[in-house]
Structure 1
Protein backbone atom coordinates (compact mmCIF):
# COMPACT_ATOMS: atom_id res chain seq x y z
CA UNK A 1 0.00 0.00 0.00
CA UNK A 2 1.24 3.48 -0.90
CA UNK A 3 1.62 5.79 2.07
CA UNK A 4 -0.14 9.10 1.48
CA UNK A 5 0.22 12.50 3.08
CA UNK A 6 -3.39 13.40 3.91
CA UNK A 7 -4.30 16.91 4.99
CA UNK A 8 -7.48 17.02 7.09
CA UNK A 9 -9.36 20.32 7.03
CA UNK A 10 -11.19 20.59 10.34
CA UNK A 11 -8.96 17.93 11.83
CA UNK A 12 -9.48 19.08 15.43
CA UNK A 13 -13.28 18.63 15.38
CA UNK A 14 -15.14 15.48 16.44
CA UNK A 15 -15.22 13.87 12.99
CA UNK A 16 -11.87 15.41 12.09
CA UNK A 17 -10.06 13.69 14.94
CA UNK A 18 -11.58 10.37 13.84
CA UNK A 19 -10.39 10.97 10.26
CA UNK A 20 -6.86 11.68 11.49
CA UNK A 21 -6.94 8.48 13.56
CA UNK A 22 -8.29 6.48 10.60
CA UNK A 23 -5.53 7.85 8.37
CA UNK A 24 -2.87 6.77 10.85
CA UNK A 25 -4.51 3.36 11.26
CA UNK A 26 -4.35 2.91 7.48
CA UNK A 27 -0.63 3.70 7.46
CA UNK A 28 -0.85 7.24 6.12
CA UNK A 29 0.64 10.51 7.34
CA UNK A 30 -1.95 13.05 8.49
CA UNK A 31 -1.63 16.83 8.66
CA UNK A 32 -4.26 18.86 10.52
CA UNK A 33 -5.55 22.06 8.92
CA UNK A 34 -7.06 24.14 11.70
CA UNK A 35 -6.56 27.48 13.38
CA UNK A 36 -4.81 25.75 16.26
CA UNK A 37 -2.16 24.52 13.81
CA UNK A 38 -1.70 27.91 12.16
CA UNK A 39 -4.11 27.43 9.24
CA UNK A 40 -7.15 29.63 8.61
CA UNK A 41 -9.45 28.32 5.88
CA UNK A 42 -11.30 31.62 5.56
CA UNK A 43 -8.32 33.92 5.14
CA UNK A 44 -6.09 31.27 3.57
CA UNK A 45 -3.36 31.92 6.13
CA UNK A 46 -0.93 29.00 6.43
CA UNK A 47 -2.53 26.88 3.71
CA UNK A 48 0.38 26.96 1.26
CA UNK A 49 2.87 25.76 3.88
CA UNK A 50 0.54 23.12 5.34
CA UNK A 51 -0.25 21.59 1.93
CA UNK A 52 3.35 21.30 0.82
CA UNK A 53 3.90 17.65 -0.07
CA UNK A 54 0.25 16.65 0.51
CA UNK A 55 -1.29 14.07 -1.80
CA UNK A 56 -4.94 14.52 -0.84
CA UNK A 57 -7.17 16.76 1.27
CA UNK A 58 -10.15 15.48 3.26
CA UNK A 59 -12.44 18.39 4.11
CA UNK A 60 -14.60 17.88 7.19
CA UNK A 61 -14.45 21.51 8.35
CA UNK A 62 -17.68 22.84 9.84
CA UNK A 63 -19.16 25.83 11.62
CA UNK A 64 -21.56 26.11 14.54
CA UNK A 65 -24.44 27.74 12.69
CA UNK A 66 -27.52 26.49 10.88
CA UNK A 67 -28.13 29.85 9.19
CA UNK A 68 -28.12 29.24 5.45
CA UNK A 69 -26.41 32.45 4.36
CA UNK A 70 -23.66 32.18 6.97
CA UNK A 71 -23.07 28.51 6.21
CA UNK A 72 -22.98 29.14 2.46
CA UNK A 73 -20.42 31.92 2.87
CA UNK A 74 -18.24 29.74 5.08
CA UNK A 75 -18.27 26.65 2.88
CA UNK A 76 -17.80 28.59 -0.36
CA UNK A 77 -14.89 30.64 0.95
CA UNK A 78 -13.15 27.72 2.65
CA UNK A 79 -13.60 25.44 -0.36
CA UNK A 80 -12.31 28.00 -2.86
CA UNK A 81 -9.30 28.75 -0.68
CA UNK A 82 -8.53 25.06 -0.23
CA UNK A 83 -8.84 24.26 -3.92
CA UNK A 84 -6.67 27.19 -4.98
CA UNK A 85 -3.95 26.24 -2.50
CA UNK A 86 -4.20 22.57 -3.48
CA UNK A 87 -3.81 23.39 -7.18
CA UNK A 88 -0.73 25.48 -6.37
CA UNK A 89 0.75 22.70 -4.21
CA UNK A 90 0.03 19.92 -6.71
CA UNK A 91 -2.52 18.09 -4.54
CA UNK A 92 -4.31 15.57 -6.73
CA UNK A 93 -7.49 14.72 -4.83
CA UNK A 94 -10.02 16.69 -2.76
CA UNK A 95 -12.51 14.70 -0.65
CA UNK A 96 -15.62 16.30 0.87
CA UNK A 97 -17.88 15.01 3.62
CA UNK A 98 -21.45 16.03 2.78
CA UNK A 99 -24.92 14.94 3.93
CA UNK A 100 -27.48 12.54 2.50
CA UNK A 101 -30.48 14.44 1.05
CA UNK A 102 -28.75 17.80 0.53
CA UNK A 103 -30.17 17.65 -2.99
CA UNK A 104 -33.73 17.02 -1.74
CA UNK A 105 -34.41 18.77 1.58
CA UNK A 106 -34.65 22.56 1.36
CA UNK A 107 -33.14 23.80 4.62
CA UNK A 108 -30.44 26.43 4.77
CA UNK A 109 -27.56 24.32 6.04
CA UNK A 110 -28.26 21.53 3.54
CA UNK A 111 -28.43 24.02 0.69
CA UNK A 112 -25.07 25.39 1.83
CA UNK A 113 -23.52 21.90 1.74
CA UNK A 114 -24.98 21.31 -1.72
CA UNK A 115 -23.43 24.57 -2.87
CA UNK A 116 -20.10 23.43 -1.44
CA UNK A 117 -20.33 20.28 -3.56
CA UNK A 118 -21.01 22.34 -6.68
CA UNK A 119 -18.09 24.70 -6.01
CA UNK A 120 -15.74 21.76 -5.50
CA UNK A 121 -16.89 19.90 -8.61
CA UNK A 122 -16.32 23.03 -10.70
CA UNK A 123 -12.87 23.63 -9.19
CA UNK A 124 -9.33 22.90 -10.40
CA UNK A 125 -8.69 19.73 -8.33
CA UNK A 126 -10.32 16.31 -8.89
CA UNK A 127 -13.00 15.68 -6.27
CA UNK A 128 -14.76 12.84 -4.44
CA UNK A 129 -17.88 13.37 -2.32
CA UNK A 130 -19.24 11.17 0.47
CA UNK A 131 -22.73 11.97 1.70
CA UNK A 132 -23.43 10.46 5.12
CA UNK A 133 -26.59 10.33 7.20
CA UNK A 134 -26.73 11.83 10.70
CA UNK A 135 -24.10 10.51 13.11
CA UNK A 136 -24.94 8.51 16.22
CA UNK A 137 -22.98 11.21 18.02
CA UNK A 138 -25.67 13.83 17.36
CA UNK A 139 -27.87 12.34 20.08
CA UNK A 140 -24.99 12.64 22.56
CA UNK A 141 -24.32 16.24 21.49
CA UNK A 142 -27.95 17.21 22.00
CA UNK A 143 -27.99 15.62 25.44
CA UNK A 144 -24.68 17.05 26.62
CA UNK A 145 -25.34 20.56 25.29
CA UNK A 146 -28.89 20.93 26.61
CA UNK A 147 -29.38 23.29 29.54
CA UNK A 148 -31.71 22.27 32.35
CA UNK A 149 -33.77 19.09 32.76
CA UNK A 150 -35.21 19.08 29.22
CA UNK A 151 -33.40 17.95 26.08
CA UNK A 152 -34.88 19.28 22.81
CA UNK A 153 -34.86 16.35 20.37
CA UNK A 154 -35.96 16.78 16.73
CA UNK A 155 -38.38 14.15 15.43
CA UNK A 156 -36.24 13.22 12.46
CA UNK A 157 -36.50 9.83 10.81
CA UNK A 158 -33.00 8.92 9.75
CA UNK A 159 -30.64 6.01 9.23
CA UNK A 160 -27.83 7.15 11.55
CA UNK A 161 -24.29 5.89 11.28
CA UNK A 162 -21.14 5.72 13.39
CA UNK A 163 -18.86 8.69 12.73
CA UNK A 164 -15.87 6.39 13.15
CA UNK A 165 -17.08 4.23 10.26
CA UNK A 166 -17.62 7.33 8.12
CA UNK A 167 -14.10 8.52 8.93
CA UNK A 168 -12.64 5.20 7.80
CA UNK A 169 -14.62 5.38 4.56
CA UNK A 170 -13.36 8.92 3.88
CA UNK A 171 -9.78 7.67 4.20
CA UNK A 172 -10.53 4.73 1.91
CA UNK A 173 -11.96 7.10 -0.70
CA UNK A 174 -8.96 9.41 -0.33
CA UNK A 175 -6.61 6.54 -1.16
CA UNK A 176 -8.48 5.77 -4.38
CA UNK A 177 -9.08 7.63 -7.64
CA UNK A 178 -11.29 10.75 -7.61
CA UNK A 179 -14.94 9.91 -8.31
CA UNK A 180 -16.17 13.30 -9.54
CA UNK A 181 -19.96 13.53 -9.66
CA UNK A 182 -20.35 9.83 -8.83
CA UNK A 183 -21.36 10.65 -5.27
CA UNK A 184 -21.21 7.90 -2.64
CA UNK A 185 -23.77 7.58 0.16
CA UNK A 186 -23.24 5.98 3.57
CA UNK A 187 -25.79 5.16 6.25
CA UNK A 188 -26.20 2.98 9.31
CA UNK A 189 -28.00 -0.38 9.41
CA UNK A 190 -31.26 0.85 11.03
CA UNK A 191 -33.97 3.44 10.44
CA UNK A 192 -34.41 5.29 13.74
CA UNK A 193 -35.95 8.49 15.05
CA UNK A 194 -33.52 10.99 16.49
CA UNK A 195 -35.67 11.84 19.50
CA UNK A 196 -35.71 8.14 20.46
CA UNK A 197 -31.92 8.03 20.22
CA UNK A 198 -31.75 10.92 22.69
CA UNK A 199 -34.03 9.00 25.07
CA UNK A 200 -31.69 6.01 24.87
CA UNK A 201 -28.69 8.22 25.72
CA UNK A 202 -30.55 9.59 28.76
CA UNK A 203 -31.58 6.11 29.90
CA UNK A 204 -28.17 4.50 29.34
CA UNK A 205 -26.42 7.24 31.30
CA UNK A 206 -28.98 7.26 34.10
CA UNK A 207 -29.65 10.99 33.69
CA UNK A 208 -32.52 12.79 35.39
CA UNK A 209 -33.57 14.50 32.18
CA UNK A 210 -36.47 14.37 29.75
CA UNK A 211 -36.30 14.30 25.95
CA UNK A 212 -38.80 16.71 24.40
CA UNK A 213 -39.68 15.75 20.80
CA UNK A 214 -39.74 18.71 18.41
CA UNK A 215 -40.80 18.94 14.80
CA UNK A 216 -39.34 21.54 12.45
CA UNK A 217 -42.00 23.71 10.80
CA UNK A 218 -43.11 23.75 7.19
CA UNK A 219 -42.58 21.38 4.29
CA UNK A 220 -38.94 20.69 5.20
CA UNK A 221 -40.00 19.73 8.73
CA UNK A 222 -42.58 17.28 7.41
CA UNK A 223 -40.03 15.79 5.03
CA UNK A 224 -37.47 15.30 7.79
CA UNK A 225 -40.02 13.69 10.10
CA UNK A 226 -41.34 11.33 7.42
CA UNK A 227 -38.21 9.91 5.80
CA UNK A 228 -36.90 12.74 3.66
CA UNK A 229 -33.45 12.27 5.19
CA UNK A 230 -33.24 8.57 4.33
CA UNK A 231 -30.84 7.53 1.56
CA UNK A 232 -32.16 6.56 -1.84
CA UNK A 233 -30.52 4.37 -4.44
CA UNK A 234 -27.13 2.78 -3.90
CA UNK A 235 -25.80 3.19 -0.37
CA UNK A 236 -22.96 1.77 1.70
CA UNK A 237 -24.32 0.39 4.97
CA UNK A 238 -22.26 0.64 8.15
CA UNK A 239 -21.89 -2.43 10.32
CA UNK A 240 -22.43 -1.00 13.81
CA UNK A 241 -26.02 -0.81 15.19
CA UNK A 242 -26.90 2.04 17.53
CA UNK A 243 -27.28 -0.02 20.72
CA UNK A 244 -23.85 -1.55 20.23
CA UNK A 245 -22.31 1.86 19.57
CA UNK A 246 -23.99 3.39 22.62
CA UNK A 247 -22.38 0.77 24.89
CA UNK A 248 -18.93 1.32 23.33
CA UNK A 249 -16.32 3.90 24.42
CA UNK A 250 -17.48 6.17 21.57
CA UNK A 251 -21.01 6.12 22.96
CA UNK A 252 -19.78 7.10 26.44
CA UNK A 253 -17.63 9.98 25.22
CA UNK A 254 -18.60 13.54 26.12
CA UNK A 255 -19.64 15.74 23.23
CA UNK A 256 -17.15 18.51 22.37
Structure 2
Protein backbone atom coordinates (compact mmCIF):
# COMPACT_ATOMS: atom_id res chain seq x y z
CA UNK A 1 0.00 0.00 0.00
CA UNK A 2 1.14 3.54 -0.73
CA UNK A 3 0.35 5.97 2.10
CA UNK A 4 0.65 9.75 2.10
CA UNK A 5 1.19 11.35 5.51
CA UNK A 6 0.25 14.97 6.16
CA UNK A 7 2.09 16.16 9.25
CA UNK A 8 4.78 13.52 8.82
CA UNK A 9 7.35 15.34 10.98
CA UNK A 10 5.11 15.87 14.02
CA UNK A 11 4.82 13.92 17.28
CA UNK A 12 2.44 11.33 15.81
CA UNK A 13 3.43 11.76 12.18
CA UNK A 14 6.97 10.47 12.70
CA UNK A 15 5.53 7.34 14.30
CA UNK A 16 3.01 6.90 11.47
CA UNK A 17 5.86 6.96 8.98
CA UNK A 18 7.86 4.44 11.03
CA UNK A 19 4.94 2.05 11.58
CA UNK A 20 3.87 2.16 7.93
CA UNK A 21 7.40 1.43 6.69
CA UNK A 22 7.85 -1.36 9.24
CA UNK A 23 4.75 -3.00 7.77
CA UNK A 24 6.12 -2.77 4.26
CA UNK A 25 4.10 0.20 2.99
CA UNK A 26 5.48 2.91 0.76
CA UNK A 27 5.28 6.33 2.46
CA UNK A 28 4.93 9.72 0.78
CA UNK A 29 5.43 12.77 3.00
CA UNK A 30 3.26 15.80 2.29
CA UNK A 31 5.51 18.70 3.24
CA UNK A 32 6.90 21.99 2.00
CA UNK A 33 10.33 20.38 1.67
CA UNK A 34 9.01 18.31 -1.26
CA UNK A 35 7.04 21.13 -2.86
CA UNK A 36 3.66 20.65 -1.15
CA UNK A 37 1.72 23.44 0.55
CA UNK A 38 -1.21 21.97 2.44
CA UNK A 39 -2.76 25.36 3.16
CA UNK A 40 -2.91 26.37 -0.51
CA UNK A 41 -3.07 22.92 -2.08
CA UNK A 42 -0.03 23.59 -4.27
CA UNK A 43 1.71 20.40 -5.37
CA UNK A 44 -0.80 18.07 -3.72
CA UNK A 45 -2.32 16.39 -6.77
CA UNK A 46 1.08 15.48 -8.19
CA UNK A 47 2.34 14.18 -4.85
CA UNK A 48 -0.78 12.05 -4.35
CA UNK A 49 -0.41 10.19 -7.65
CA UNK A 50 -0.76 6.46 -7.00
CA UNK A 51 -1.53 6.92 -3.29
CA UNK A 52 -4.04 4.51 -1.75
CA UNK A 53 -4.76 6.42 1.47
CA UNK A 54 -3.96 9.75 3.11
CA UNK A 55 -3.29 9.91 6.85
CA UNK A 56 -3.78 13.45 8.16
CA UNK A 57 -2.13 14.25 11.51
CA UNK A 58 -1.54 17.95 10.87
CA UNK A 59 -1.82 20.53 13.63
CA UNK A 60 -1.56 24.25 14.30
CA UNK A 61 -0.15 26.06 17.32
CA UNK A 62 -2.93 28.63 17.47
CA UNK A 63 -5.79 28.31 19.96
CA UNK A 64 -7.85 31.02 18.23
CA UNK A 65 -11.02 29.73 16.64
CA UNK A 66 -10.70 31.73 13.42
CA UNK A 67 -7.13 30.58 12.87
CA UNK A 68 -7.85 26.97 13.77
CA UNK A 69 -10.91 26.77 11.54
CA UNK A 70 -9.05 28.39 8.67
CA UNK A 71 -6.18 25.93 9.05
CA UNK A 72 -8.10 22.68 9.51
CA UNK A 73 -10.84 23.72 7.09
CA UNK A 74 -8.36 24.70 4.41
CA UNK A 75 -6.06 21.70 4.79
CA UNK A 76 -8.94 19.22 4.89
CA UNK A 77 -10.66 20.74 1.86
CA UNK A 78 -7.41 20.74 -0.10
CA UNK A 79 -6.63 17.13 0.82
CA UNK A 80 -10.13 15.98 -0.13
CA UNK A 81 -10.16 17.85 -3.43
CA UNK A 82 -6.65 16.78 -4.43
CA UNK A 83 -7.31 13.24 -3.25
CA UNK A 84 -10.37 12.93 -5.45
CA UNK A 85 -8.51 14.30 -8.45
CA UNK A 86 -5.62 11.91 -7.86
CA UNK A 87 -7.88 8.91 -7.27
CA UNK A 88 -7.05 8.42 -3.57
CA UNK A 89 -9.59 6.00 -2.13
CA UNK A 90 -9.39 6.73 1.61
CA UNK A 91 -8.80 9.72 3.91
CA UNK A 92 -7.82 8.92 7.53
CA UNK A 93 -7.79 11.76 10.07
CA UNK A 94 -6.76 12.02 13.70
CA UNK A 95 -9.04 13.99 16.02
CA UNK A 96 -9.40 14.48 19.79
CA UNK A 97 -11.59 12.82 22.41
CA UNK A 98 -14.20 15.05 24.04
CA UNK A 99 -14.00 18.09 21.78
CA UNK A 100 -17.79 18.39 21.50
CA UNK A 101 -17.94 19.32 25.20
CA UNK A 102 -15.06 21.80 25.49
CA UNK A 103 -15.62 25.25 23.92
CA UNK A 104 -12.07 25.82 22.69
CA UNK A 105 -11.12 27.57 19.48
CA UNK A 106 -8.68 24.80 18.54
CA UNK A 107 -11.33 22.14 19.10
CA UNK A 108 -13.80 24.05 16.94
CA UNK A 109 -11.25 23.72 14.17
CA UNK A 110 -11.07 19.96 14.70
CA UNK A 111 -14.86 19.69 14.69
CA UNK A 112 -14.94 21.53 11.37
CA UNK A 113 -12.41 19.04 10.01
CA UNK A 114 -14.66 16.14 11.04
CA UNK A 115 -17.75 17.76 9.48
CA UNK A 116 -15.98 18.37 6.18
CA UNK A 117 -14.91 14.74 5.99
CA UNK A 118 -18.39 13.47 6.83
CA UNK A 119 -19.97 15.73 4.22
CA UNK A 120 -17.42 15.07 1.49
CA UNK A 121 -17.51 12.51 -1.30
CA UNK A 122 -14.20 10.84 -0.44
CA UNK A 123 -14.37 7.69 1.75
CA UNK A 124 -13.03 8.47 5.21
CA UNK A 125 -12.15 7.31 8.71
CA UNK A 126 -11.71 9.39 11.88
CA UNK A 127 -9.96 8.27 15.05
CA UNK A 128 -10.33 10.41 18.14
CA UNK A 129 -7.52 9.97 20.68
CA UNK A 130 -6.72 11.52 24.05
CA UNK A 131 -3.65 13.67 24.72
CA UNK A 132 -0.30 11.99 24.16
CA UNK A 133 2.16 11.28 26.97
CA UNK A 134 4.30 14.09 25.50
CA UNK A 135 1.58 16.63 26.42
CA UNK A 136 2.74 16.80 30.06
CA UNK A 137 6.18 17.97 28.94
CA UNK A 138 4.80 20.34 26.31
CA UNK A 139 2.59 21.91 29.00
CA UNK A 140 5.70 23.10 30.83
CA UNK A 141 6.22 25.65 28.07
CA UNK A 142 2.64 26.91 27.58
CA UNK A 143 3.08 29.63 30.21
CA UNK A 144 6.54 29.80 31.74
CA UNK A 145 7.95 32.66 33.81
CA UNK A 146 11.46 32.22 35.14
CA UNK A 147 11.62 28.84 36.90
CA UNK A 148 7.81 28.58 37.10
CA UNK A 149 5.62 26.65 34.66
CA UNK A 150 1.90 27.35 34.88
CA UNK A 151 0.17 24.16 33.79
CA UNK A 152 -3.60 23.89 33.26
CA UNK A 153 -5.47 21.80 35.78
CA UNK A 154 -7.18 19.11 33.76
CA UNK A 155 -7.86 15.41 33.80
CA UNK A 156 -6.36 13.40 30.99
CA UNK A 157 -6.03 9.77 29.97
CA UNK A 158 -2.76 10.02 28.06
CA UNK A 159 -1.83 7.54 25.38
CA UNK A 160 1.46 6.68 23.68
CA UNK A 161 1.90 8.47 20.35
CA UNK A 162 3.31 5.25 18.89
CA UNK A 163 0.07 3.42 19.72
CA UNK A 164 -1.99 6.17 18.11
CA UNK A 165 0.14 5.79 14.99
CA UNK A 166 -0.41 2.04 14.99
CA UNK A 167 -4.17 2.58 15.19
CA UNK A 168 -4.08 5.06 12.29
CA UNK A 169 -2.13 2.67 10.07
CA UNK A 170 -4.57 -0.09 11.07
CA UNK A 171 -7.38 2.12 9.80
CA UNK A 172 -5.59 2.86 6.55
CA UNK A 173 -5.17 -0.87 6.00
CA UNK A 174 -8.78 -1.69 6.96
CA UNK A 175 -10.39 0.77 4.55
CA UNK A 176 -13.02 3.49 5.13
CA UNK A 177 -14.66 3.01 8.53
CA UNK A 178 -16.24 6.36 9.43
CA UNK A 179 -15.73 7.46 13.01
CA UNK A 180 -14.27 4.59 15.01
CA UNK A 181 -14.28 4.09 18.82
CA UNK A 182 -12.17 6.55 20.79
CA UNK A 183 -8.63 5.57 21.75
CA UNK A 184 -7.32 6.46 25.22
CA UNK A 185 -4.46 5.51 27.48
CA UNK A 186 -4.64 3.05 30.36
CA UNK A 187 -4.82 5.61 33.22
CA UNK A 188 -6.81 8.72 34.09
CA UNK A 189 -4.39 11.27 35.53
CA UNK A 190 -4.03 14.94 36.52
CA UNK A 191 -1.85 16.91 34.10
CA UNK A 192 0.05 19.13 36.62
CA UNK A 193 1.10 16.02 38.53
CA UNK A 194 2.33 14.48 35.29
CA UNK A 195 4.31 17.61 34.48
CA UNK A 196 5.95 17.45 37.93
CA UNK A 197 6.98 13.86 37.22
CA UNK A 198 8.57 15.00 33.96
CA UNK A 199 10.49 17.75 35.78
CA UNK A 200 11.87 15.26 38.32
CA UNK A 201 12.76 12.63 35.71
CA UNK A 202 14.45 15.11 33.39
CA UNK A 203 16.12 17.14 36.16
CA UNK A 204 14.66 20.33 34.71
CA UNK A 205 14.63 22.30 37.95
CA UNK A 206 11.27 23.90 37.20
CA UNK A 207 8.41 24.52 39.61
CA UNK A 208 4.99 23.47 38.31
CA UNK A 209 1.98 25.53 39.36
CA UNK A 210 -1.42 24.09 38.50
CA UNK A 211 -3.82 26.80 37.30
CA UNK A 212 -7.58 26.74 36.82
CA UNK A 213 -8.42 27.84 33.29
CA UNK A 214 -11.40 30.21 33.29
CA UNK A 215 -14.87 29.71 31.86
CA UNK A 216 -16.72 26.72 30.52
CA UNK A 217 -13.67 25.29 28.78
CA UNK A 218 -11.65 25.25 31.99
CA UNK A 219 -14.47 23.65 33.97
CA UNK A 220 -14.92 20.98 31.30
CA UNK A 221 -11.23 20.14 31.25
CA UNK A 222 -11.07 19.84 35.03
CA UNK A 223 -14.14 17.60 35.05
CA UNK A 224 -12.59 15.09 32.65
CA UNK A 225 -14.45 16.07 29.49
CA UNK A 226 -11.35 15.22 27.45
CA UNK A 227 -11.38 11.63 28.68
CA UNK A 228 -13.56 8.90 27.12
CA UNK A 229 -17.11 8.57 28.36
CA UNK A 230 -17.57 4.99 27.22
CA UNK A 231 -15.66 1.77 26.69
CA UNK A 232 -13.24 1.58 23.81
CA UNK A 233 -9.69 0.62 22.88
CA UNK A 234 -7.04 1.42 25.47
CA UNK A 235 -3.32 1.88 25.01
CA UNK A 236 -0.85 -0.46 26.66
CA UNK A 237 1.93 1.93 27.65
CA UNK A 238 1.56 3.71 30.99
CA UNK A 239 2.85 7.21 31.58
CA UNK A 240 5.54 5.84 33.92
CA UNK A 241 6.72 3.41 31.25
CA UNK A 242 6.85 6.13 28.61
CA UNK A 243 8.72 8.50 30.95
CA UNK A 244 11.29 5.83 31.86
CA UNK A 245 11.86 5.00 28.19
CA UNK A 246 12.47 8.64 27.25
CA UNK A 247 14.54 9.81 30.25
Fold agreement, TM-score > 0.5 = yes
Indicate the residue corresponding to 1:73 in structure 2: 70
- Residue 215 of structure 1 pairs with residue 240 of structure 2: no
Map 1:47-86 to 2 at 5 A.
Answer: 47-86=44-83
Indicate the residue corresponding to 2:171 in structure 1: 173
Query: What SS is found at the alignment partner of 1:39?
Result: coil
Indicate the residue corresponding to 2:11 in structure 1: 14
| Match among 4, 27, 30 for residue 27 of structure 2 | 30
Q: Post-superposition shift, 1:207? A: 2.1
Q: Post-superposition shift, 1:229? A: 1.1
Indicate the residue corresponding to 2:200 in structure 1: 203
How big is each residue's C-alpha offset from its partner over 1:86-145, in whole Å with a ceiling of 9 and x where there is no partner? 001111110000000112222111111011100011112101000000111011223367
Q: Distance in 2 between matches of 1:37 and 1:20?
A: 16
Flag structure 2 segments of 5+ consecutive residues without an equivalent: none
How big is each residue's C-alpha offset from its partner over 1:7-27, in whole Å with a ceiling of 9 and x where there is no partner? 000112221111111111121
Indicate the residue corresponding to 1:158 in structure 2: 156
- 8 Å CA contact 2:101–2:220 kept in 1: the answer is no
Aligned residues: 246
Q: Distance in 2 between matches of 1:186 and 1:37?
A: 32
Q: Distance in 1 between matches of 2:219 and 2:175?
A: 38
Flag structure 1 segments of 5+ consecutive residues without an equivalent: none
How big is each residue's C-alpha offset from its partner over 1:36-65, in whole Å with a ceiling of 9 and x where there is no partner? 221101111110111000000000011111
Q: How does the TM-score come out when normalised to structure 2?
A: 0.96
- 8 Å CA contact 1:143–1:201 kept in 2: the answer is no
Q: Distance in 1 between matches of 2:15 and 2:46?
A: 23
Q: How does the TM-score come out when normalised to structure 1?
A: 0.93
Query: What SS is found at the alignment partner of 2:231?
Result: coil
